[in-house]
Amino acid sequence: MEQLLPLLGMLVFVLIFYLLIARPQRRREERRALMLSSVKRGSVVYAGGIRCTVLDFDSGRVLTASGPSRSALEIDADAIDDVEGFDYRAEYERQKKLRRERAARGGGLGRR
């Protein structure tokens, strides 16, 4: 029994690490990816404290307009901090519905 105590302590430490650090980090990454996938032309985004309207986007680059003079800024998609009006739950449900419809049509990832 004394030999199992250090192993039990290590298992508890790994469990705490997973629950307090790894799992929340994965959730944040998933939410961020979902938020970035919802960006489209006309979306209002915040990047580095600047409120911008998306004009165009492609492969990780976003062309935005900001301020009353509509100054054009090209930013990296990873620089986007927030999307105005983004609702995580609604977007998650929309993505889930799209996946179900795609799978029903036979275009799911599981079928080849």
Res 109: pLDDT: 59
SS3 109: coil
For 61-74, what is the mean pLDDT?
90
What does pTM read for this prediction?
A: 0.68
Return the pLDDT at 107: 63
Phi, psi of 60 (to 5 degrees): 90, -5
Mean pLDDT of 80-99: 91
Structure tokens at 56: 């165009």
Q: Is the pLDDT of residue 52 over 90?
A: yes
What is the per-residue pLDDT for 59?
74
